[in-house]
Structure 1
Amino acid sequence: MGLRTDTVIFFVSAGLTVAFVTVAIAATETVDRVFSRLSGWILHHLGWLYILGVTTFLLFLVWIALSRWGHVRLGGHDARPEYGNRAWFAMLFAAGIGTILMFWGVAEPISHWAEPPRADVEPRSEEAAELAMAFSFYHFGLHTWSIFCLPALAFAYFVHQRRLPFRLSSVLQPILGDRIHGPLGRVVDITAVLGTLFGVAVSIGLGTLQINSGLAQLFGIEESQPVQVLLITVVTIIATISVALGLDRGIKRLSTLNIGMAVGLLTFVFLTGATVFLARGIIEMLGVYLGSLVPLAFWNDTFANTGWQGQWTVFYWAWTITWSPFVGMFIARISRGRTIREFVLGVLALPTAFTIVWFSVFGLSAIDIEREGDTGLVEAVVVQGDVSRALFVFLENYPLATVVSGVSVLIVVIFFTTSSDSASLVVDTLCSGDREEPGPVRQRVFWAITEGVVAGTLIAATGKSGLDALAEVITVLGLPFFLLAFLMMISLVRALNTDYPELRRPQLPRSIRRMPRSAQRARPTPGGPVPGPGPGPEDTPGAPPGERPVGDT
């Protein structure tokens, strides 16, 4: 057929995708009921594990960045970054949560301000505003990017350093050994392909709802299934063209253009709104985030047990983890030549800093506008539950509202396009495992079209409930990815210890390690001098003062 791919991974993934869509159309209620129960069980019984796990990912990444392995360069000592910092940041951000910021930048702060997550906080109060901003930063800041950064670092190391295929199974080589090339490895890779397809399909569906809301606000176009299917078709065509052009000519240019437009929208809201209030608020909200980071990182709603965390935080983590192979592999692909320390701090710090500024400007502006008078934001987001319309209701309070809303629709379209074409590139790479070139263009085009077909078919056949059902499916699929992330940490440390033995910490023999410290100090260092009468370390010829002679170890 002229394809260059792994036959089993490619055709099994494609077949399961078609089978799922067919069953979802034919038996929507049954599929919804089954996955609703499974996702409900996961959210209720394993929510605490998600909270603890994502915090563990963050702590692990900070530790490894600051560790003795931080200076290890991905791709070898002589490797240098292929993309400059600005292009690198634009691509990793556009492929990560750029779409989510457009969708939730106004909606989440307003929602938590009107209905605080904690019952002891008065709605629409100053405390509720601070809590709303803290939760928004928590959901889209360091923790979300930790979910992306961990698999990205694992991919980057095993692909660029050990020259393994660009597949999820490769990051488990220190644990599975040669079995990564067998049936077990293919099961892992097929799961990664399905998780990426379903996650992108849900995001395309949600983006379509937001685009449709924006067009309805601007031109009075009705919000209906035919319009949404048409919008998905347009986004899919643009994504297909972009992915056919390749990483440099397509995705890079779209990402750079999009981040520039997003910064322009951010600047417009900042300058035409309550500028002084926002300038003060950005600084203050940074302090709020830093002060609440540790409590929120371990908060499990233990006493109240309202179920709020399962609907918000745990669902975010479960959904984000299904994206992690896609975003992680894409970031790894564009990050060859960077050190581990540069990679981790860049992936965690740069997008988080932008997220804090974005949510501060849009979230605080929305809360301030709603405090001054009822503008319909709370009504749209909280009462009606129309989250997709929040941004456009918000922009009605600014000059040139029609023009700015039109630009916002274009930004959303490009954000979702870059997510779709990046996902197509990654899915094809997952199937082929090729480090340099994923395969013929038609393979990437196939996956770009498949993503659009999955989202479009679900909207056309079942409407919004179909997307809700798919969201529950990826919540269930998120659990194995979450467990794999723990294995990634173990695998990465094992590989670093094996590949860089000179960076291991010196270890005393086990028999000496079991002795009290006073006895250990009296024991001779292997290969070194025997303690006893005679000159001390300071009397050793040629030894600096206070330095003890050591042996071979």
Structure 2
Amino acid sequence: MADDTTGQGIPAPDGASALIETEYEIGQHNVEGAVGPFGFDIHNPVFMISGLSIVAFVFYALVLPEHASAMFGWLRPWLTSTFDWFFLGAANIFVLFCLFLIVSPWGSVRLGGADATPDYSYIGWFAMLFAAGMGIGLMFFGVLEPVYHMAISEPLGVPSPIAEDGSIIAANVDAARQMGLAATIYHWGLHPWAIYAIVALALALFTYNKGLPLTIRSAFYPIFGERVWGWTGHIIDTLAVFATLFGLATSLGFGAQQANAGLEHIFGIPVSTTVQVLLISGITAIALVSVLRGLDGGVKVLSEINMGVALLLLVFVLLAGPTLTIFSDFAAGLGAYATNLVSLSNPIGREDTAYMQGWTAFYWAWWISWSPFVGMFIARVSRGRSVREFITCVLIIPSLVCVLWMAVFGGTAIDQVLTDPATSAVKATVIDSYSPELSLFAMLEGLPLASITSLIGIVLVIVFFVTSSDSGSLVIDTITAGGKVDAPVPQRVFWCVFEGAVAIVLLIGGGLGALQAMVISTGLPFTLVLLLMCWAILRGLMQEKA
């Protein structure tokens, strides 16, 4: 292939290594920043814009809490009702684009070059793929969502099996049970993992194959050329910082509410904003220790502990719960998901707006907000895989694990509701009073050793909390340092503290609704970034294949 010196494309590694080296040096010169006060490696203006904007936001939410609460309360429903079609349409494009790459000639392109070999075995790689993308969300929604969709939200108009007097309508049970699981799998299956795959593939391709810095702007070199080192790139990276920060803050808020609910359930500690603020503060302090220990000594160790404990809890619920019913739910849920996938993905002419706008639109914005964080992690562990192998595994393996988790936890909870609705703690917390943070502990209450497993659940939430916080601070730090993976420790500490601060002020300023509102408001513009990223990936792969 002829060298492209116009700035609109990146030449392949062979025959153009000098130009790639020049491009990388240009990128470093423009993004590496300079060591400033307090030991920060400041990447102007991304670091300054991001940092000052977040400081201003925290100040606003603390000084004018009533105004902030009213604004957050209005923002989320307006965004989901106005842009639901956009979120659903974009997510469909991401899935179709990933499926296209699997069967396309560009699927044979290897990340890192033709001679690159994988850094990790399949087992280790699969474990990290799953650990990267989900965490607190599975703990918070694993019980809540299947039961809620079965009994309340009625996706695609499938009627609830719970009558107004609390009795069970036998004729509705099978269809509602399958739809509850299918509607949940839809939110945790191919669509979110396609979102993650887009960002991860872009970062891996342009970092390993093109020699560019590990930052979001690098993916847009085929489109914008040298402008990615100027304000065009600054805007892209700043949007990535905002999306990641508020996506993580939302997860931390969910985790704090669930941990507080578990502590009240076991020890009688009251559920309050004060307790949740103390939880966020304490766990952020623990995350700081992990940040100071670094990736291998902190994040990796905590992640391994977390996965082990989560697996133990999963196996316990599988064996202590209705085991045969769980396996049946796994198969039936997958079948219903496949059958209804097109209908659930269609944003036009839907009557189940409570499900589509209140759940799906929010979820897609949340996953998109998480995508720089998760995508960067997946990219760092996927060198040596072919594009076809990469996308197939990123879409299928974690999706199946999520389906299993929902079938085990959600299937057990559904069984408890339908078997004995009069005494079901799950029905009382999800259907009757809607206390989502208690749903996991309500399900465990119906199994043996409830006190022990509930305590394990709290520990899992806290450790997920810590790993999300310290991993997120490393990713944001990398973006604001222009792709450097070894930025100064004080800078990592700064972002770790600010993640906790944002979660706290959002809880104070409007509770869970405020967290969700900020996720959607930052996910909306970053959706445009991901759509443009698809075109950049295609151009990069075409050049690489050539």
TM-score normalised per structure 2? 0.87
- State whether structure 2 residue 397 is matched by structure 1 residue 350: yes
Paired residue for 1:141?
189
Percent of residue pairs identical = 42
Aligned twin of 1:484 = 529
Aligned to 1:388: 437
C-alpha distance in 2 between matches for 1:90 and 1:430: 25
Contact kept in structure 2, 1:273 and 1:398, CA below 8 Å: yes
| Alignment match, 1:411 | 460
Per-residue CA deviations over 1:366-402 (Å, capped at 9, x if unaligned) read 1111111131312212332210100001101111111
State how far apart, in whole Å, the 2-side matches of 1:38 and 1:232 are.
Answer: 24
Deviation at 1:37, TM superposition (A): 4.5
RMSD across aligned positions (CA):
1.8
1:48 equivalent in structure 2: 85
Letter aligned with residue 55 of structure 1: N
Residue 424 of structure 1 pairs with residue 476 of structure 2 = no
Pick one of 213, 227, 230 that aligns with 2:261: 213
Shift of 1:270: 0.8
Indicate which of 180, 183, 190 corresponds to 1:132. Answer: 180
1:117 to 155, 159, 181: 155
Partner of residue 131, structure 2 = 94
1:385 partner SS: coil
User: 1:314-354, CA deviations, whole angstroms, 9 ceiling, x for partnerless residues?
Assistant: 11111221111111112112222222122111211111010
Deviations 1:230-255 (A, max 9, x none): 21122212222222222222222221
Task: Kindly indicate whether residue 361 of structure 2 is the aligned counterpart of residue 314 of structure 1.
Answer: yes
Distance 1:217 1:122, change over 3 A: closer
- 2:28 paired residue number: none
Kindly tell me the number of residue pairs found equivalent between the two proteins.
496
Asked whether the 8 Å contact 2:262–2:455 carries over to 1, the reply is: yes
Determine if the alignment matches structure 1 residue 397 to structure 2 residue 446: yes
Q: Does the CA contact (< 8 Å) of 1:425 and 1:438 recur in 2?
A: no
The aligned amino acid for 1:73 is R
Provide the residue aligned with 2:515 in structure 1.
470
Q: Mark the runs of 5 or more structure 1 residues left unpaired by the alignment.
A: 502-553
Tell me which residue corresponds to 2:344: 296
Q: Against the structure 1 CA distance between its residues 467 and 272, is the aligned structure 2 distance closer, same or farther, given a 3 Å change threshold?
A: closer
Range that drifts further, 223-232 or 311-320: 223-232
> Separation in 2 of the partners of 1:22 and 1:382?
37
Q: Distance in 2 between matches of 1:128 and 1:106?
A: 16
Show the counterpart of 1:85.
122
Richer in helix (by share): 2
Q: CA deviation at 1:38?
A: 4.7
User: CA separation of 1:283/1:382 partners in 2, compared to 1, >3 Å: closer, same or farther?
Assistant: same
- Segment drifting more, 35-44 vs 372-381: 35-44
Q: 2:281 maps to what in 1?
A: 233
User: Which stretch of the first structure deviates more once superposed, 168-177 or 246-255?
Assistant: 246-255
Structure 1 residue corresponding to 2:323, chosen from 246, 257, 275 = 275
Structure showing greater Rg: 1
- Counterpart of 1:156? 204
Q: Distance in 2 between matches of 1:84 and 1:243?
A: 26
Residue 471 (structure 2) pairs with residue 434 (structure 1): no
Instruction: Tell whether the 8 Å contact from 2:236 to 2:529 is kept in structure 1 after alignment.
Output: no
Match of 2:380 among 323, 326, 333: 333
For the 8 Å contact 1:179–1:185, the answer to whether it is kept is yes
Q: Name the residue aligned to 2:99.
A: 62
CA contact (8 A) 2:201 2:379 kept: yes
**Partner SS for 2:108:** coil
Gaps of 5+ in 2: 1-36, 163-172
One-letter amino acid of the structure 1 residue matched with residue 502 of structure 2: V
Alpha carbons 2:262, 2:438 under 8 Å: kept: yes
